[in-house]
A = this chain, B = another copy of it.
Amino acid sequence: MADLPQRNDISTIAKPYLIFLGDVSDPLDAKTGLGIRQWRPQWCAAQYRLPGCEVDLGLPELAPAAAAAAGAKSLVIGIAPDGGRLPPHWRGVVLDALDAGLDIVAGLHSRLNADAEFAERARLRGRRLVDVRNPPQDFSPGSGAKRSGKRLLTVGTDCAVGKKYTVLALEQALHARGIAADYRATGQTGVLIAERGVAIDAVISDFVSGAAEWLSPANDAAHWDLVEGQGSLFHPSYAAVTLGLIHGSQPDAMVLCHEAGRATIGNFPDYPIPAWKDAIATYEAAARLTNRAARVVGISINTASLPEAEARAVIAATASETGLPCIDPLRFGCDAIADVLERL
């Protein structure tokens, strides 16, 4: 859009990072900070938290000036608040970080560059404001046309169930087997990890499927694009984003992600998590509009809340119930699904 502020070059964000965690208590709200810490630990120099914060990345605790003195180059806002707006009481931290000589990196809907006070302070201090959620270009509506190459998309019973971690782990597993594969980031955290991609939920709704087509362009026949899923078709707020991403990605294979023990959609106690067979049927029906061969090829369960024996039992029971390979990619690896992809 001609009216958006500057497009930021995500690939040139200054490192290492001071990760700001605000005063959040729920780790699900800190998924940007946790994701960068998990997948790009070498970029993480320190963390900064406000009183009341209950999330801990296990990094040195430094305020902006001390972090800058210790070599940090950018303050990354590690929180993804619902609605994507910066809480007013965090503004001082952003201004302090600019004064300390740090660039600011955020994946919020409310853009740093559109904030007159932040923009003026950044100009004064000669710092960059990087809006990771700002789409990297204009898009067109989806074409629905078939592209060469193979595509996997993670889909979920809910938000925040492991869709990003699953594709990142699968990318490692396929690379270890010598299979060409690219992680395709679709959220602010993933874009920061991959240093490319598009925060698909910030795209104008008419262009969501078109943006997804752009994200995984035609490729070699044997190449896998591993597309990070977003939201859930069972989520009353975000299913539109999910559906456009499915239609544009045209996945050959989907991996259905879930968090063990979650019975209702997060923050929506009246919205139940669907049964496996219903979730699989719903995603396959949706995906077959643009790829008639689309199917769910495996299940990925985040079992972090369970002791190991219980986790293994849940995974075995799910594999038995669905007839599909079932993994917890971080805990037990993802070979069972990588095997399927290697054969497809």
Contact = CB atoms under 8 A, between A and B. Distances in A.
Contact of A83 (B140, B203, B239, B243): B140
| A: interface residue count bin | 35 or more
Contacts of A69: none
A234 B1 CA distance: 27
A318 interface: no
Contacts of A82: 141
Contacts of A285: 282
20 contacts: A1-B109, A1-B111, A2-B114, A3-B4, A83-B140, A84-B206, A141-B237, A144-B270, A202-B206, A205-B208, A205-B241, A208-B240, A237-B247, A239-B247, A239-B289, A240-B240, A240-B244, A240-B245, A271-B289, A282-B285
Contacts of A206: 84, 109, 201-202, 237-238, 241
Given A240-B244, A271-B289, 4 more contacts: A1-B109, A3-B5, A205-B208, A206-B238
A30 interface: no
Contact of A210 (B3, B142, B237, B290): B237
Nearest to A268: B144
A75 B288 CA distance: 43
A26 interface: no
A321 interface: no
Interface string A28-71: 00000000000000000000000000000000000000000000
A209 B234 contact: no
Contacts of A237: 141-144, 206, 209-210, 247
A200 interface: yes
A204 interface: yes
Contact of A241 (B109, B202, B240, B270): B240
A231 to B, nearest CB: 9
A239 B290 CA distance: 11
A289 B234 CA distance: 7
Nearest to A240: B244
A323 interface: no
A239 to B, nearest CB: 6
Contact of A240 (B1, B247, B268, B271): B247
Given A237-B141, A237-B143, A3 B205 contact: no
A115 interface: yes
A114 B241 contact: no
A208 B84 CA distance: 14
